[in-house]
């Protein structure tokens, strides 16, 4: 059986009892960086064989994980911090196990982008997690363009050397928006700094950041400036039957068809 285990994102006490139990019972642990994971295991006096599973060897590691699980071994998979697969290695492992019909599970725990949403004070009822943006400028802008019209809070991961470039690109694509930069989550110097995209983020950039950005404002449909009759006639002029034109106008205005029906009675 394979278990993907979420580990602390900063404070080592942010590990669940179930995660500790899983790591203690594992026959082998695959990790993003063996040195990093060793510090966590030493803190809880856990000694296990460690093998690397990172972005450069994940395909090979996935086969080893599959083989170990088929041999009846208990395998734990961890990343350096947080949940494996989420902006971390693990996706290829999941795909390999799923295609082979080998069962696996997740031992949940700390999650940086969820913590950042709470700390940002931006709307968290609906959001889109994008993760790290591409390094190349053209690809970075292409990704941002795909999300610019979403009326959802947008959440990104950003390395310290990329923060300024990422924010500048967001301002160029999104225009002015409120944002928050969250870092050192769960640590002593945890901070969530609110700023406007046009201003950028002041100060020296240290550590990994989660950038939380306000979603797009709802755009007013220019057709809604027409009278109800004119709005219905507009769609009929496009060749739509009156019934369909009424339906379209009602959708534009955010009202029921029955509310607009009286305006359509005398339209021929």
pLDDT value at position 7?
A: 97
What is the edge-to-edge ordering of all strands in the sheet holding 153-158? 127-132, 153-158, 209-213, 178-183, 191-196
**What is the Cα–Cα distance from 237 to 165, expressed in whole angstroms?**
47
pLDDT value at position 56?
A: 96
- Buried b / exposed e over 143-158, threshold 16 CB at 10 Å, is bbeebeeeebbbbbbb
**What is the Cα–Cα distance from 57 to 268, expressed in whole angstroms?**
69
* Lookup result for tokens 């110097």: 189
The token duo for 179 is 């944002």
Span 106-124, pLDDT tens digits: 999 999 999 999 999 999 9
What is the number of other CB atoms lying within 10 angstroms of the CB of residue 95?
A: 12
pTM of the model: 0.81
The token duo for 252 is 């534009």
Span 184-241, pLDDT tens digits: 999 999 999 999 999 999 999 999 999 999 999 877 777 777 888 788 888 877 888 8
Q: Which residues pair with 178 in a beta bridge?
A: 196
pLDDT value at position 249?
A: 85
Give Cβ neighbours of residue 166 (< 8 Å, ≥ 6 apart).
133, 140, 156, 158, 211
pLDDT value at position 67?
A: 98
The token duo for 177 is 């928006």
Which residues of the chain fall below pLDDT 70?
none
Give Cβ neighbours of residue 148 (< 8 Å, ≥ 6 apart).
173, 174, 216
Domains of the chain: 2-107 (3.40.1010.10), 112-213 (3.30.950.10), 222-264 (no CATH)
Give Cβ neighbours of residue 198 (< 8 Å, ≥ 6 apart).
171, 176
- Buried b / exposed e over 21-44, threshold 16 CB at 10 Å, is ebbeebebbbbbebeebbebbeee
pLDDT value at position 73?
A: 98
């Amino acid at each position: 059986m394979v278990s993907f285990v979420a580990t602390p994102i900063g404070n080592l006490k942010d590990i669940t009892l179930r995660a500790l139990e899983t790591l203690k019972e594992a026959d082998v642990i695959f990790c993003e960086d063996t040195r990093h994971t060793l510090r966590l295991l030493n803190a809880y006096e856990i000694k296990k064989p460690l093998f690397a599973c990172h972005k450069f060897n994940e395909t090979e590691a996935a086969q080893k994980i599959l083989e170990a699980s088929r041999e009846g071994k208990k395998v734990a998979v961890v990343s350096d911090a947080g949940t494996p697969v989420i902006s971390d290695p693990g996706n290829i492992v999941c795909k390999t196990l799923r295609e082979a019909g080998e069962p696996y599970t997740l031992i949940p725990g700390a999650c940086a982008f969820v913590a950042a949403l709470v700390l940002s004070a931006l709307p968290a009822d609906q959001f889109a997690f994008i993760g790290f943006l591409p390094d190349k400028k053209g690809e970075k802008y292409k990704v941002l363009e795909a999300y610019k019209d979403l009326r959802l809070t947008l959440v990104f991961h950003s390395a310290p050397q990329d923060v300024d470039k990422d924010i500048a690109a967001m301002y160029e694509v999104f225009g002015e928006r409120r944002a928050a930069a969250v870092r050192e989550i769960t640590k002593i110097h945890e901070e969530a700094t609110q700023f406007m995209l046009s201003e950028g983020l002041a100060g020296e950039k240290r550590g990994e950041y989660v950038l939380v950005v306000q979603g797009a404002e709802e755009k007013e449909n220019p057709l809604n400036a027409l009278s109800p009759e004119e709005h219905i006639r507009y769609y009929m002029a496009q060749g739509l039957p009156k019934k369909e034109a009424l339906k379209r106008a009602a959708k534009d205005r955010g009202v029921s068809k029955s509310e607009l029906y009286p305006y359509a009675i005398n339209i021929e």
